[in-house]
Amino acid sequence: MKRIVITGMGAITPIGNTLNQFWEGLRNGTNGIDHITIFDASHHKTTFAGEIKNLKFEDHFPKPDIRKMDRHTLFALIAVEEAFINSKIDLTNLDLSKCGVIWGSAIGGMKTFEDEIANYYSHPQKPSFSPYFIPKIIPDIVSGLVAIKYGFLGVNFAAVSACASSTHSIIAAYQNIKLGKANLIIAGGSEAAITPSGIGGFNAFKGLSQKNDDPKKASRPFDINRDGFVVGEGAGAIILEDLEHAQARNATIIAEITGTGMTCDAYHITASHPAGLGAYLAFKEALMEAGLNIGEIDYINAHATSTQLGDISEMKAINMLVEESKTQVDFLISSTKSMTGHLLGAAGAIELIASLLSMKNNIIPATINTQEIDPEIPLKNAICLHKFTPKTVKNIASLNFGFGGHNAAIVATDYL
């Protein structure tokens, strides 16, 4: 059976615009949440988010190209380029027909859609749309553009499953390589939903925190006073390869993906199953494929968005596996969303990267902002709070869930 390894990563996040900056942000407990500057949010119920900072697209792209791409696409291409460089890929030595791209985004080109519709309604008698309108908004445009840039002729599509999108893109890449459909795939996700309709829409169903007087403490997973998630933006890119293919080109191997799981709650369009049933089944499936029990996991990067129901149901799911295992459990749990906010369709890729960096550095990033853990949450002593914790990390799990009841879990192991 083919073994699938990770050989490259790239990240652009609210706490760092490169992989190294992201890790420093995680290690230092940097808070990436602040009042929105991208648009005037003063009339919204929520006025803050996790924006990308100190980034000029002109430093990465010619100005004509910037006009042809939505913000989420620009983020994606920056992250992919970093992963590509880190992986030291030599295109001249690849079979490009066996190289692919699978990308995830929950929403795609929301800002472009808003701008184009606003322009239409301001001149309804003389409708005018950009020729790039449709290509800029569709979620699969990233996978197409990445393939065009690198000449990858293999498997290519988008994964869309709300906040599990990039996790599903990585799992799909893993499966396609395992089946022999590809030797190398770039996978990940990007999102840029800090827009009037993005913030307004999430506010409409009471999903967002409204701690406008203290935004830096708003993303507080597991806390008894949590009141909703914080929208973040950015991208995470991961390069997966068949182990033999990676070894043949002398690639540096970061980790091996050993197990994956995908399920559905079949319960509600936005709320997670109250007992965490779907999350439990997804994590259990990933552990079984990896040949591990939960007692052998060292770090779990939880989806934990800082919502009342979601944080509890996820921890119940993990606790069910603990109770079943009948083994000593020594893992730590944290939610890096406390620092970055919730990157929606990009969350899974960014959080898997955070987990792999934790493995590489043997440090568990903290859950910041959380002051008092909700008494309904089990496994309280496993939650890493306030400051990073040094710990030997050999096996990690990254969990992500999306509206519609989508659940996805990835288990990865330090490559030996």
Catalytic residue IDs = 163, 303, 342
Interatomic CA distance for residues 133 and 144, integer angstroms: 16
Beta bridge partners of 413: 256, 395
Strands (E), 161-305: 184-191, 234-242, 255-264, 299-301
Which residues are CB-contacts of 28 (< 8 A; sequence separation ≥ 6)? none
Which residues are CB-contacts of 73 (< 8 A; sequence separation ≥ 6)? 109, 136, 141, 142, 145, 190
- Of 289, 316, 313, the C-alpha closest to 395 is 289
Which residues are CB-contacts of 122 (< 8 A; sequence separation ≥ 6)? none
Rg (CA), the chain: 20
- Of 3, 1, 5, 2, the C-alpha closest to 356 is 5
- Of 316, 326, 300, 308, the C-alpha closest to 383 is 300
